[in-house]
Amino acid sequence: MPKKVDHHQRRELLAHAVRRVVADHGLGAVSLRSVAAEAGVTGGMVQHYFPTKEAMLDFAMRSASAQYGERMQKALSTLGEAPEPTAALEAVLTALLPRSEQERADGRVALAFMSHASLDSSAAEYLREGNDGMRMLLADWIRSARDASGPAATAESESDAPSAAAALLALTDGLAIQVLSSGLDVDDAESILRLHIAAVLA
């Protein structure tokens, strides 16, 4: 009886290979040959699942994004079923700062795909949708944290939550870039982030 092929698993295998190539050599090094060599498969198999480089990059970008989602969910899960909003904010945002070697590799991949999105409208739209959802989640936590810390939030602080969420996400991205490229210590980056979270909620 022929062995059943798990096509999604094979696509993920190739996506992980793409991400390793990008992390080690940059987006320009991605090719049918380099991905096949990294994955330990034939070029024909790569081409079967991804007829074009664009299709391969698109799937790898989505796979990388899902991996970040899993990282944030793991950080949240340590807080229990109903996390306090301030703790949730801190857990999710600090989880985006690269600490381990694997997280640094993931960060290099994320930076490469952000750069790619600046020239590719489809990739830009995908990342925009993800960021919009993230900002909405952060804004909800900000509102809840403000409500929990004192009197009901004013109309001004309610309307400010989306901007505050956008600022925190942009700060987190910037700190992660500084850790990866400019030698900022990740503990210092986390301290800066926590200070800004506290200021937003004050």
Residue written as token pair 């070029």: 43
Question: What is the rounded CA–CA span in Å between residue 13 and residue 17?
Answer: 6
79-102 mean pLDDT: 94
CA distance linking residue 104 with residue 133, whole number of Å: 24
Token pair, residue 47, equals: 């081409």
Q: CA geometry: angle at 7 spanning 21 and 115, to 5°?
A: 30
CATH 1.10.357.10 fits 61-201, yes or no: yes
Q: What is the pLDDT of residues 63-85, one digit of tens each?
A: 999 999 999 999 999 998 888 99
Domain ranges of the chain: 61-201
Q: Where residue 32 falls among pLDDT bands split at 50, 70, 90?
A: very high
Q: How confident is the model over 12-30, as pLDDT tens digits?
A: 999 999 999 999 999 999 9
Specify the pLDDT at position 156.
52
CA angle, 79 as apex, 76 and 83 as ends, to 5°?
85
Q: Note the pLDDT tens digit of each residue in 122-168.
A: 999 999 999 999 999 999 999 999 887 666 555 556 678 999 999 99
Both tokens of 199, joined, read 């200021």
